Amino acid sequence: MSLNEYLILSGIIFSLGLIGVLRRKNLLMLFFATEIMLNAVNIGMVAISKFHGDLTGQIFAFFIIAVAASEVAVGLGLLILLYKRKNTVNLDSIASMKG
């Protein structure tokens, strides 16, 4: 496969994640869409890194995966806490963050 095909795939996956972020009202689906966008960026960076013969893109992708894992851990913890307090994860019903 050529570099263009990898970048087109990355762009399509990123667009799907962006649509998910803009259209979803559920916080859990919002987290999933954000993860899809991060993985699309990883595909692009690894593809560019492979075709240039450099490991920099792959190293950045590794760090993005590590940051995304910590983001999910903290985000899901906050999501569980919010669900216990409000009994919902719908963004429309959580209009105010007042306790």
Residue ranges per structural domain of the chain: 3-86
DSSP H or E stretch at residue 42:
helix 27-52
Strand partners, 26: 90
Residue in 38, 82, 39, 42 with CA at minimum distance from that of residue 59: 42
Q: What is the pTM of this model?
A: 0.82
- Report the topology of domain 3-86: Helix Hairpins (1.10.287)
* pLDDT tens track for 17-75: 999 999 988 888 888 999 999 999 999 999 999 999 999 999 999 999 999 899 888 98
Strand partners, 90: 26
> How far apart are alpha carbons 2 and 29 in whole angstroms?
32
